[in-house]
Structure 1
Amino acid sequence: METTRFETFFDAIIAIIITVLVLKIPQPATPTLNGILELNYIYAAYFLSFLILYNIWYANHNLFQVVDTIDNSCVWIYGTMTFVISLLPYFTIWLANHVYSVPAETMFGLIFIVTHILNTLANRAIYRSNPYNQQLHDLNFNSYYMNIPIIILVLGFILTYTVYVPGIFICCLISVVLWILLGRLLRRKAYGN
Protein backbone atom coordinates (compact mmCIF):
# COMPACT_ATOMS: atom_id res chain seq x y z
CA MET A 1 0.00 0.00 0.00
CA GLU A 2 1.24 3.49 -0.79
CA THR A 3 1.76 5.62 2.28
CA THR A 4 0.13 8.87 1.12
CA ARG A 5 -3.46 7.68 1.59
CA PHE A 6 -2.60 5.89 4.79
CA GLU A 7 -0.77 8.90 6.21
CA THR A 8 -3.76 11.14 5.40
CA PHE A 9 -6.11 8.70 7.13
CA PHE A 10 -3.89 8.45 10.22
CA ASP A 11 -3.47 12.25 10.36
CA ALA A 12 -7.26 12.65 10.29
CA ILE A 13 -7.72 10.14 13.11
CA ILE A 14 -5.18 11.95 15.30
CA ALA A 15 -6.85 15.30 14.55
CA ILE A 16 -10.24 13.89 15.56
CA ILE A 17 -8.84 12.41 18.78
CA ILE A 18 -7.23 15.75 19.69
CA THR A 19 -10.53 17.50 18.98
CA VAL A 20 -12.43 15.07 21.21
CA LEU A 21 -9.76 15.50 23.86
CA VAL A 22 -10.13 19.27 23.97
CA LEU A 23 -13.94 19.00 23.96
CA LYS A 24 -13.72 16.95 27.16
CA ILE A 25 -12.25 19.93 29.04
CA PRO A 26 -15.05 21.54 31.05
CA GLN A 27 -15.61 25.27 31.32
CA PRO A 28 -14.38 26.85 34.57
CA ALA A 29 -17.10 27.07 37.25
CA THR A 30 -16.52 30.82 37.57
CA PRO A 31 -15.16 33.29 35.01
CA THR A 32 -12.15 34.09 37.17
CA LEU A 33 -8.51 33.14 37.37
CA ASN A 34 -9.39 31.01 40.40
CA GLY A 35 -11.97 29.14 38.30
CA ILE A 36 -9.31 28.38 35.72
CA LEU A 37 -6.77 27.30 38.33
CA GLU A 38 -9.29 24.84 39.82
CA LEU A 39 -8.98 22.85 36.59
CA ASN A 40 -5.18 22.54 36.82
CA TYR A 41 -5.16 18.72 36.76
CA ILE A 42 -7.41 18.68 33.71
CA TYR A 43 -5.10 21.09 31.87
CA ALA A 44 -2.04 19.06 32.87
CA ALA A 45 -3.62 15.80 31.73
CA TYR A 46 -4.74 17.41 28.46
CA PHE A 47 -1.22 18.75 27.87
CA LEU A 48 0.31 15.32 28.46
CA SER A 49 -2.17 13.55 26.17
CA PHE A 50 -1.70 16.22 23.51
CA LEU A 51 2.08 15.71 23.68
CA ILE A 52 1.62 11.96 23.25
CA LEU A 53 -0.63 12.39 20.21
CA TYR A 54 1.49 15.13 18.69
CA ASN A 55 4.65 13.07 19.08
CA ILE A 56 3.00 10.08 17.40
CA TRP A 57 1.88 12.32 14.53
CA TYR A 58 5.26 14.03 14.19
CA ALA A 59 7.25 10.79 14.31
CA ASN A 60 5.01 9.19 11.71
CA HIS A 61 5.11 12.28 9.51
CA ASN A 62 8.92 12.11 9.49
CA LEU A 63 8.88 8.36 8.99
CA PHE A 64 6.55 8.51 5.99
CA GLN A 65 8.83 11.09 4.35
CA VAL A 66 11.36 8.29 3.75
CA VAL A 67 8.96 5.36 3.20
CA ASP A 68 6.99 4.78 0.01
CA THR A 69 5.12 1.54 0.76
CA ILE A 70 3.86 -0.43 3.73
CA ASP A 71 2.47 -3.93 3.97
CA ASN A 72 -0.65 -5.34 5.61
CA SER A 73 1.08 -6.05 8.92
CA CYS A 74 1.89 -2.33 9.22
CA VAL A 75 -1.72 -1.44 8.48
CA TRP A 76 -3.00 -3.84 11.15
CA ILE A 77 -0.54 -2.60 13.76
CA TYR A 78 -1.48 1.00 13.02
CA GLY A 79 -5.15 0.03 13.16
CA THR A 80 -4.63 -1.45 16.61
CA MET A 81 -2.68 1.62 17.70
CA THR A 82 -5.50 3.83 16.39
CA PHE A 83 -7.96 1.89 18.55
CA VAL A 84 -5.76 2.28 21.62
CA ILE A 85 -5.12 6.00 21.19
CA SER A 86 -8.82 6.61 20.53
CA LEU A 87 -9.33 5.64 24.19
CA LEU A 88 -6.98 8.41 25.30
CA PRO A 89 -9.64 11.15 25.75
CA TYR A 90 -11.72 8.91 28.01
CA PHE A 91 -8.82 7.90 30.24
CA THR A 92 -7.32 11.40 30.23
CA ILE A 93 -10.46 12.90 31.76
CA TRP A 94 -10.78 9.99 34.19
CA LEU A 95 -7.20 10.57 35.31
CA ALA A 96 -7.67 14.35 35.48
CA ASN A 97 -10.74 13.97 37.70
CA HIS A 98 -9.11 11.31 39.91
CA VAL A 99 -5.36 12.03 40.02
CA TYR A 100 -5.00 10.11 43.28
CA SER A 101 -6.82 7.03 42.00
CA VAL A 102 -4.66 3.97 41.39
CA PRO A 103 -7.05 2.50 38.74
CA ALA A 104 -7.14 5.81 36.81
CA GLU A 105 -3.35 6.11 36.96
CA THR A 106 -2.97 2.47 35.93
CA MET A 107 -5.24 2.71 32.90
CA PHE A 108 -3.58 5.90 31.70
CA GLY A 109 -0.16 4.31 32.09
CA LEU A 110 -1.26 1.16 30.28
CA ILE A 111 -2.56 3.22 27.35
CA PHE A 112 0.84 4.90 27.12
CA ILE A 113 2.79 1.62 27.39
CA VAL A 114 0.63 -0.15 24.79
CA THR A 115 0.90 2.86 22.46
CA HIS A 116 4.69 2.89 22.82
CA ILE A 117 4.91 -0.85 22.15
CA LEU A 118 2.60 -0.64 19.12
CA ASN A 119 4.55 2.31 17.75
CA THR A 120 7.79 0.32 18.11
CA LEU A 121 6.21 -2.71 16.40
CA ALA A 122 4.89 -0.51 13.58
CA ASN A 123 8.34 0.98 13.02
CA ARG A 124 9.88 -2.47 12.87
CA ALA A 125 7.18 -3.71 10.47
CA ILE A 126 7.83 -0.73 8.20
CA TYR A 127 11.54 -1.46 8.34
CA ARG A 128 10.91 -5.10 7.39
CA SER A 129 8.68 -4.11 4.48
CA ASN A 130 11.36 -1.72 3.13
CA PRO A 131 14.63 -3.66 3.59
CA TYR A 132 16.57 -1.74 0.90
CA ASN A 133 15.64 1.76 2.02
CA GLN A 134 18.92 3.25 3.27
CA GLN A 135 17.32 6.38 4.77
CA LEU A 136 15.03 4.17 6.82
CA HIS A 137 17.95 2.01 7.88
CA ASP A 138 19.83 5.12 9.06
CA LEU A 139 17.01 6.02 11.47
CA ASN A 140 17.95 2.95 13.55
CA PHE A 141 14.66 1.95 15.20
CA ASN A 142 16.45 -0.75 17.17
CA SER A 143 18.27 1.79 19.32
CA TYR A 144 18.29 0.79 22.96
CA TYR A 145 17.76 4.43 23.89
CA MET A 146 14.14 4.17 22.76
CA ASN A 147 13.51 1.80 25.70
CA ILE A 148 14.32 4.50 28.28
CA PRO A 149 10.75 5.92 28.29
CA ILE A 150 9.33 2.46 29.06
CA ILE A 151 11.82 1.98 31.89
CA ILE A 152 10.80 5.34 33.38
CA LEU A 153 7.13 4.40 33.05
CA VAL A 154 7.74 1.11 34.85
CA LEU A 155 9.31 3.17 37.65
CA GLY A 156 6.09 5.22 37.63
CA PHE A 157 4.06 2.06 38.19
CA ILE A 158 6.33 1.13 41.09
CA LEU A 159 5.87 4.61 42.59
CA THR A 160 2.09 4.50 42.14
CA TYR A 161 1.74 1.11 43.77
CA THR A 162 4.09 1.87 46.66
CA VAL A 163 4.49 5.47 47.82
CA TYR A 164 3.11 8.12 45.45
CA VAL A 165 -0.16 7.54 43.57
CA PRO A 166 0.41 10.16 40.80
CA GLY A 167 3.75 8.48 39.99
CA ILE A 168 2.48 7.10 36.67
CA PHE A 169 1.23 10.53 35.58
CA ILE A 170 4.57 12.19 36.43
CA CYS A 171 6.57 9.41 34.77
CA CYS A 172 4.33 9.55 31.67
CA LEU A 173 5.21 13.22 31.34
CA ILE A 174 8.93 12.52 31.74
CA SER A 175 8.67 9.57 29.31
CA VAL A 176 6.93 11.52 26.56
CA VAL A 177 9.46 14.36 26.83
CA LEU A 178 12.28 11.79 26.57
CA TRP A 179 10.47 10.08 23.69
CA ILE A 180 10.42 13.41 21.83
CA LEU A 181 14.05 14.28 22.64
CA LEU A 182 15.40 10.81 21.82
CA GLY A 183 13.54 10.72 18.51
CA ARG A 184 14.97 14.11 17.65
CA LEU A 185 18.51 13.08 18.61
CA LEU A 186 18.32 9.86 16.59
CA ARG A 187 17.04 11.77 13.54
CA ARG A 188 19.87 14.30 13.90
CA LYS A 189 22.40 11.51 14.18
CA ALA A 190 20.96 9.78 11.08
CA TYR A 191 20.76 12.91 8.91
CA GLY A 192 23.49 15.05 10.45
CA ASN A 193 21.28 18.14 10.94
Structure 2
Amino acid sequence: MSKGRMEAFSDGVIAIIITIMVLELKVPHGQDLAALRPLAPAFLSYVLSFVYVGIYWNNHHHLLQAAHKVNGRILWSNLFLLFWLSLIPITTAWIGDSQFARWPIILYGMVLLMAAIAYTLLQLQLIAQEGRAAPLARAINSDLKGKVSLVCYASAILLAFWNPLISLGLYILVAMIWFIPDRRIEKILAE
Protein backbone atom coordinates (compact mmCIF):
# COMPACT_ATOMS: atom_id res chain seq x y z
CA MET A 1 0.00 0.00 0.00
CA SER A 2 1.04 3.61 -0.48
CA LYS A 3 3.05 5.38 2.19
CA GLY A 4 1.38 8.78 1.64
CA ARG A 5 -1.38 8.40 4.23
CA MET A 6 1.10 7.22 6.87
CA GLU A 7 3.35 10.20 6.19
CA ALA A 8 0.47 12.67 6.35
CA PHE A 9 -0.90 11.16 9.56
CA SER A 10 2.55 11.16 11.18
CA ASP A 11 3.16 14.79 10.18
CA GLY A 12 -0.19 15.75 11.71
CA VAL A 13 0.48 13.94 14.98
CA ILE A 14 3.93 15.49 15.27
CA ALA A 15 2.50 18.97 14.62
CA ILE A 16 -0.06 18.40 17.38
CA ILE A 17 2.67 17.21 19.77
CA ILE A 18 4.61 20.44 19.23
CA THR A 19 1.45 22.50 19.65
CA ILE A 20 0.60 20.79 22.93
CA MET A 21 4.11 21.43 24.23
CA VAL A 22 4.03 25.14 23.47
CA LEU A 23 0.59 25.50 25.06
CA GLU A 24 2.10 24.22 28.32
CA LEU A 25 4.29 27.34 28.53
CA LYS A 26 2.72 29.84 30.92
CA VAL A 27 2.48 33.59 30.57
CA PRO A 28 4.88 35.33 32.96
CA HIS A 29 3.43 37.12 35.99
CA GLY A 30 4.93 40.57 35.99
CA GLN A 31 6.11 43.17 33.54
CA ASP A 32 9.87 42.99 33.75
CA LEU A 33 12.43 40.45 32.63
CA ALA A 34 12.71 39.08 36.17
CA ALA A 35 9.22 37.61 35.65
CA LEU A 36 10.75 35.20 33.13
CA ARG A 37 13.15 33.63 35.64
CA PRO A 38 10.61 31.21 37.19
CA LEU A 39 9.66 30.05 33.69
CA ALA A 40 13.24 29.14 32.71
CA PRO A 41 13.04 25.39 33.58
CA ALA A 42 9.78 24.99 31.64
CA PHE A 43 11.18 26.90 28.67
CA LEU A 44 14.45 24.94 28.65
CA SER A 45 12.61 21.62 28.82
CA TYR A 46 10.37 22.83 25.96
CA VAL A 47 13.39 23.73 23.81
CA LEU A 48 14.99 20.33 24.42
CA SER A 49 11.78 18.48 23.61
CA PHE A 50 11.10 20.65 20.55
CA VAL A 51 14.56 19.71 19.26
CA TYR A 52 13.86 16.02 19.91
CA VAL A 53 10.49 16.08 18.16
CA GLY A 54 12.08 17.99 15.28
CA ILE A 55 14.84 15.40 15.01
CA TYR A 56 12.30 12.59 14.89
CA TRP A 57 10.23 14.44 12.27
CA ASN A 58 13.30 15.09 10.12
CA ASN A 59 14.64 11.54 10.33
CA HIS A 60 11.16 10.03 9.89
CA HIS A 61 10.83 12.06 6.68
CA HIS A 62 14.18 10.78 5.37
CA LEU A 63 13.36 7.23 6.40
CA LEU A 64 10.10 7.26 4.47
CA GLN A 65 11.75 8.84 1.43
CA ALA A 66 13.76 5.63 1.11
CA ALA A 67 10.67 3.42 1.38
CA HIS A 68 8.45 2.63 -1.56
CA LYS A 69 5.44 1.10 0.16
CA VAL A 70 4.20 0.13 3.61
CA ASN A 71 2.40 -2.85 5.09
CA GLY A 72 0.45 -3.52 8.28
CA ARG A 73 3.58 -4.19 10.38
CA ILE A 74 5.05 -0.89 9.29
CA LEU A 75 1.82 0.95 10.11
CA TRP A 76 1.77 -0.56 13.61
CA SER A 77 5.48 0.17 14.12
CA ASN A 78 4.84 3.77 13.11
CA LEU A 79 1.92 4.01 15.56
CA PHE A 80 4.17 2.59 18.28
CA LEU A 81 6.66 5.39 17.58
CA LEU A 82 3.93 8.04 17.55
CA PHE A 83 2.60 6.72 20.87
CA TRP A 84 5.93 7.31 22.59
CA LEU A 85 6.40 10.68 20.92
CA SER A 86 2.93 11.68 22.10
CA LEU A 87 4.10 11.24 25.71
CA ILE A 88 6.86 13.82 25.31
CA PRO A 89 4.59 16.81 26.12
CA ILE A 90 3.52 15.46 29.54
CA THR A 91 7.05 14.50 30.54
CA THR A 92 8.34 17.84 29.24
CA ALA A 93 5.84 19.71 31.37
CA TRP A 94 6.70 17.59 34.40
CA ILE A 95 10.46 18.12 34.19
CA GLY A 96 9.92 21.85 33.74
CA ASP A 97 7.44 22.15 36.61
CA SER A 98 9.60 20.04 38.92
CA GLN A 99 12.74 21.98 37.98
CA PHE A 100 14.48 18.82 36.75
CA ALA A 101 13.72 16.55 39.71
CA ARG A 102 14.72 12.87 39.76
CA TRP A 103 11.49 11.05 38.82
CA PRO A 104 10.43 13.41 36.06
CA ILE A 105 13.92 13.14 34.54
CA ILE A 106 13.75 9.33 34.81
CA LEU A 107 10.34 9.18 33.14
CA TYR A 108 11.47 11.61 30.43
CA GLY A 109 14.42 9.31 29.74
CA MET A 110 12.17 6.27 29.62
CA VAL A 111 9.97 7.98 27.03
CA LEU A 112 13.04 8.94 24.98
CA LEU A 113 14.41 5.41 25.25
CA MET A 114 11.13 3.86 24.16
CA ALA A 115 10.80 6.33 21.25
CA ALA A 116 14.31 5.37 20.13
CA ILE A 117 13.45 1.67 20.36
CA ALA A 118 10.22 2.29 18.43
CA TYR A 119 12.12 4.18 15.73
CA THR A 120 14.59 1.30 15.47
CA LEU A 121 11.70 -1.15 15.10
CA LEU A 122 10.20 1.02 12.36
CA GLN A 123 13.54 1.00 10.56
CA LEU A 124 13.73 -2.79 10.82
CA GLN A 125 10.19 -3.21 9.47
CA LEU A 126 10.92 -0.91 6.55
CA ILE A 127 14.14 -2.81 5.79
CA ALA A 128 12.24 -6.11 5.94
CA GLN A 129 9.69 -4.68 3.46
CA GLU A 130 12.29 -3.20 1.12
CA GLY A 131 14.84 -6.03 1.36
CA ARG A 132 18.40 -6.25 2.65
CA ALA A 133 19.85 -5.10 -0.67
CA ALA A 134 17.63 -2.00 -0.82
CA PRO A 135 19.13 1.48 -0.45
CA LEU A 136 17.52 1.88 2.99
CA ALA A 137 19.29 -1.19 4.39
CA ARG A 138 22.61 0.00 2.99
CA ALA A 139 22.07 3.52 4.39
CA ILE A 140 21.24 2.42 7.91
CA ASN A 141 23.96 -0.25 8.01
CA SER A 142 25.29 -0.48 11.58
CA ASP A 143 23.44 2.62 12.90
CA LEU A 144 26.16 3.67 15.35
CA LYS A 145 24.33 6.89 16.29
CA GLY A 146 21.21 4.89 17.12
CA LYS A 147 23.10 2.43 19.30
CA VAL A 148 24.99 5.20 21.11
CA SER A 149 21.68 6.96 21.74
CA LEU A 150 20.13 3.85 23.30
CA VAL A 151 23.14 3.40 25.61
CA CYS A 152 23.04 7.10 26.60
CA TYR A 153 19.31 6.95 27.39
CA ALA A 154 19.66 3.79 29.49
CA SER A 155 22.69 5.25 31.29
CA ALA A 156 20.88 8.53 31.92
CA ILE A 157 17.91 6.73 33.45
CA LEU A 158 20.20 4.93 35.89
CA LEU A 159 22.32 8.01 36.61
CA ALA A 160 19.21 10.04 37.44
CA PHE A 161 18.92 8.11 40.71
CA TRP A 162 22.25 9.65 41.66
CA ASN A 163 22.17 13.03 39.88
CA PRO A 164 19.33 14.07 37.54
CA LEU A 165 21.35 16.91 36.05
CA ILE A 166 23.92 14.47 34.66
CA SER A 167 21.03 12.64 33.02
CA LEU A 168 19.75 15.91 31.58
CA GLY A 169 23.24 16.49 30.19
CA LEU A 170 23.14 13.09 28.49
CA TYR A 171 19.75 13.88 26.94
CA ILE A 172 21.21 17.12 25.62
CA LEU A 173 24.24 15.24 24.30
CA VAL A 174 22.06 12.81 22.34
CA ALA A 175 20.08 15.72 20.90
CA MET A 176 23.34 17.34 19.84
CA ILE A 177 24.49 14.10 18.18
CA TRP A 178 21.28 13.99 16.14
CA PHE A 179 20.85 17.74 15.62
CA ILE A 180 22.82 17.51 12.40
CA PRO A 181 20.43 15.50 10.20
CA ASP A 182 21.34 11.92 9.42
CA ARG A 183 22.60 12.16 5.84
CA ARG A 184 23.08 8.42 5.26
CA ILE A 185 19.72 8.05 3.55
CA GLU A 186 20.14 11.22 1.48
CA LYS A 187 23.49 9.95 0.20
CA ILE A 188 22.11 6.57 -0.81
CA LEU A 189 19.07 8.07 -2.52
CA ALA A 190 21.27 10.49 -4.47
CA GLU A 191 23.27 7.62 -6.02
Structure 2 length normalisation: TM-score? 0.90
Counterpart of 1:102 in structure 2 is 102
Q: Does 1:67 pair with 2:67?
A: yes
Say how many residue pairs are matched.
191
Task: Indicate how the Cα distance of structure 1 residues 59 and 171 shifts in structure 2: closer, same or farther if over 3 A, else same.
Answer: same
Matches within 5 A, 1:1-193: 1-131=1-131, 134-162=134-162, 164-181=163-180, 184-187=182-185, 190=188
1:185 Cα deviation after fit: 4.9
CA distance in 1, matches of 2:142, 2:186: 16
Task: Indicate how the Cα distance of structure 1 residues 143 and 168 shifts in structure 2: closer, same or farther if over 3 A, else same.
Answer: same
Contact 2:132–2:138 (CA<8 Å) still a contact in 1?
no
Task: Indicate how the Cα distance of structure 1 residues 191 and 6 shifts in structure 2: closer, same or farther if over 3 A, else same.
Answer: closer
Task: Indicate how the Cα distance of structure 1 residues 137 and 80 shifts in structure 2: closer, same or farther if over 3 A, else same.
Answer: closer
Contact 1:123–1:141 (CA<8 Å) still a contact in 2?
no
* Cα deviation code 1:93-128 (max 9, x no counterpart): 111111342211111000000000000110110010
The AA in structure 2 aligned to 1:173 is: I
CA distance in 2, matches of 1:99, 1:24: 15
Task: Indicate how the Cα distance of structure 1 residues 189 and 178 shifts in structure 2: closer, same or farther if over 3 A, else same.
Answer: same
The AA in structure 2 aligned to 1:75 is: L
Task: Indicate how the Cα distance of structure 1 residues 136 and 187 shifts in structure 2: closer, same or farther if over 3 A, else same.
Answer: closer
Deviates more, 1:141-150 or 1:104-113: 141-150
1:80 Cα deviation after fit: 1.6
Q: Tell me, which stretches of 5 or more residues in structure 1 are unaligned?
A: none
Contact 1:124–1:141 (CA<8 Å) still a contact in 2?
no
1:5 Cα deviation after fit: 1.1
1:159 Cα deviation after fit: 2.7
CA distance in 2, matches of 1:141, 1:123: 11
CA distance in 2, matches of 1:90, 1:145: 26
Deviates more, 1:91-100 or 1:113-122: 91-100
The AA in structure 2 aligned to 1:184 is: D
* Cα deviation code 1:32-70 (max 9, x no counterpart): 211123211111100111111111111111122221201
* Percent of residue pairs bearing the same amino acid type: 20
Task: Indicate how the Cα distance of structure 1 residues 140 and 123 shifts in structure 2: closer, same or farther if over 3 A, else same.
Answer: same
CA distance in 2, matches of 1:156, 1:103: 12
Structure 1 length normalisation: TM-score? 0.89
CA distance in 1, matches of 2:152, 2:132: 34
**Higher RCO (C-alpha 8 Å, min separation 6):** 2
Aligned partner of residue 164 in structure 2, secondary structure = coil
After the TM superposition, list the runs of 4 or more consecutive aligned residues in structure 1 that deviate by more than 6 angstroms. none
